[in-house]
Structure formats: structure tokens, C-alpha cells
Amino acid sequence: MFRAAVGNARPLPQGLRFVHPRPKPRPVPRQALRDQREVLLDSLSDHVYWADSLESGEELAFLRPGLQNQVLRKLRRGHWITQDELDLHGLTVAQAKLELLQFLQHCQKNSFRCVRVIHGKGLRSKNLEPVLKNKVAHWLMQREETLAFCQAKAADGGSGAMLVLLKAF
């Protein structure tokens, strides 16, 4: 039956076979990725005066205007479960800024509400003062998704970490 169906067909000679070209890889939009990264970095300026938004004393705390003080009180008391954390130990300011931005995007994608950001106590810095503590506070206050933040409890990092409450998405 096969011979009857094929009939007079002959195999192609070896050298005349058609080779299908491999599909070209998709282009990588490198410039668009660079632009996106720059926009992220520029979205957090270091030149914002925010002292009025912090409570007095050593402890950093912030509450978005329009929210009740009870939100900050609940955050301090551990009302919300910490769903993820970011450790910025040993990073430069530029590296920490990028890591924080990426972490906030990760939190937003995963609908995390309460997270811990560990910035360190500055025990290994030149002046034995925290370098990232105030920077992280600046950056968090500029992000619209940050509702409140406060110093973590001693068991969770104390003055070297902060708890951050994010908007629900």
C-alpha cells in the first residue's frame, strides 16, 4: 500500500536537503531596562527634609498623614506579622537604595503588608554611627506604599532594624 501511495517518489540527494534556519533570539531591551532602573533610583531623592515627620528622640518613626496614631502603636506592639525581611548590612548607600527599591517591588507583587528592614547599628562604620538608618527612613517616607514605620523590638533588631507597614494592593 505504501509503495502504491508513494508511487514514483525518489529520495532527495544528500547535498540538496533544506536546513531550516534557527530562530533568532528575541532582542533584549537593554536601554529600556537601564532607563527603568534610573527612574527607580531617581524616584527616591536624598534631598527631602523630613525631620517634622519623625517623632522626637532616637527612635525613628513615621506615620503617613491622615492615618490614626493607633496604626503606629499597633505596629510597635507587633500587631501585624512580619512577612519578609531585607538585610542591608555591608552594602554601600547606592547598593542599599537599589536593594530597597527591588524589595519594595517584591513586597508589592506578593501583597506583603508588614516587613522588616535591617539597616544595622553602624558599629563598623567610621564614626560608629549608622549610615543607612536615616537614608532608609528618607527613602521609605518618599514611597507612596509606605504607611508607617518604627524601630523594631530588641528581639527583632532594635535600633538596627525597622518594621514597615505597607499599603494593601
Whether CATH 3.10.20.600 fits 30-166: no
In sequence order, what are the residues at sequence separation of 6 or more whose Cβ sits closer than 8 angstroms to the Cβ of residue 133?
Answer: 60, 119, 120, 122, 159, 160
Residue spans of the domains in the chain: they are 30-166
Q: What is the pTM of this model?
A: 0.65
Q: Which of 44-58, 99-113, 130-144 has the highest mean pLDDT?
A: 99-113
Half-sphere exposure of 136 (CA within 13 A, CB side): 34
pLDDT score at 50 = 43
Q: Which three cell numbers stand for residue 38?
A: 534610573
